[in-house]
Structure 1
Amino acid sequence: MAEHTWNISPLHCGISVSDLEASIEWFGRVLDFEVVSRDSIPAAGFDLAFLRNGDFEIELFQCYEYKEMSEERKVPNLDLKTLGTKHICFAVDNLDALVETFYENDVEIVQGPEHLIGNYYCFIHGPNDILIEFIEH
């Protein structure tokens, strides 16, 4: 059997939102993401934007017709029971300073900041109550 060597690194995370403009503004104001590109794909039923901070991108989708997220998807420990991708997580060097930015921008902190299993972390709600985790490294 042939051996393969894979070089894998994070590229982007796709997130569906109800308001593309408001979400672009939120990710820029709260997490310093900048717009890389935008497009509309009417045949597929959505508009999209790529945002970047450093080497990581977020792909935002605004579908012309969308379904609201269920309530249990908005709570970290309840969401674990639903199959599929759970949340996006960012490593940060000063979680307490970032939490202050959350307070200044009226960002809802869902869990933490607290220590658990050797990590200092917190979860917030981003646009449309998506879960976003931050871990201090």
Structure 2
Amino acid sequence: MSQHTSGSSEVLLSRMRFLSVGLSVADVEAMATWYIEQLGFEHVLTHNFEDYGVTATFLRYGDLSIELVQNDTIVKVDRPLPPNHNAVLGVSQLSIHVDDVEKAHEIAVSRGLPIVMDLAPYPPIQTNAFFIQDPEGNIIEVFKAEWE
């Protein structure tokens, strides 16, 4: 796959420092608490965009930032569980790479997190992964890849 389509030799992402993902949620406070307590994220800041009916909370864990956005006009879409979760257009999952996926799975089980697809190897893509679901239905893949 080509990294650029023009004649320029510059790469768009050459200066990327960390990854951020935005998740639309119905209850920003409850979801922030869940990501902090269950996954270890830290609260960075919360801001209310009153003119837009939006409250945004930013969380961070290492090089990953999550923006939880509560919108007064939210529309809920029921996403199927894995392996069919990618049948709905848009971001299908939040994928978190870990050093020890077996230990992460053990912790998820001990905390009673909803595991929607159990730990399994996927040799064609050289990964070992499991999927959990946050309280509002967002799918989170936890995995370790041999190519990391």
Q: Structure 2 CA distance, aligned partners of 1:95 and 1:128?
A: 23
1:101 aligned residue (104, 107, 110): 107
Task: For residue 12 of structure 1, report the CA deviation from its aligned partner.
Answer: 0.5
2:9 aligned residue (3, 8, 11): 3
**What is the aligned partner in structure 2 of residue 68 from structure 1?**
76
**What is the aligned partner in structure 2 of residue 110 from structure 1?**
116
Q: Where does structure 1 differ by over 3 angstroms across 4 or more consecutive aligned residues?
A: none
Q: Which runs of 5+ in 2 are unaligned?
A: 1-6
**What is the aligned partner in structure 2 of residue 21 from structure 1?**
29
2:140 partner letter: I
Percent of paired sites with the same residue? 27
CA contact (8 A) 2:54 2:72 kept: yes
Report Cα offsets for 1:15-72 as digits up to 9, x if no partner.
Answer: 01111111111111111100111100121111110000012100001112322231xx
CA contact (8 A) 1:74 1:129 kept: no
Task: For residue 80 of structure 1, report the CA deviation from its aligned partner.
Answer: 2.0
Q: What is the root-mean-square deviation of aligned Cα atoms in Å?
A: 1.7
* Bigger CA radius of gyration: 2
For normalisation by structure 2, the TM-score amounts to 0.82
**What is the aligned partner in structure 2 of residue 133 from structure 1?**
141
1:88 partner letter: L
For normalisation by structure 1, the TM-score amounts to 0.88
Do structure 1's residue 30 and structure 2's residue 31 form an aligned pair? no
Q: Structure 1 CA distance, aligned partners of 2:19 and 2:144?
A: 21
CA contact (8 A) 2:80 2:87 kept: no
CA contact (8 A) 1:109 1:124 kept: yes
Q: Structure 1 CA distance, aligned partners of 2:20 and 2:135?
A: 17
**What is the aligned partner in structure 1 of residue 96 from structure 2?**
90
Q: Structure 2 CA distance, aligned partners of 1:100 and 1:25?
A: 21
**What is the aligned partner in structure 1 of residue 3 from structure 2?**
none
CA contact (8 A) 1:120 1:136 kept: yes
Higher relative contact order (CA 8 A, sep 6+): 1
Q: How many residues align?
A: 135
State the SS of the aligned residue for 1:77.
coil
Task: For residue 8 of structure 1, report the CA deviation from its aligned partner.
Answer: 5.2
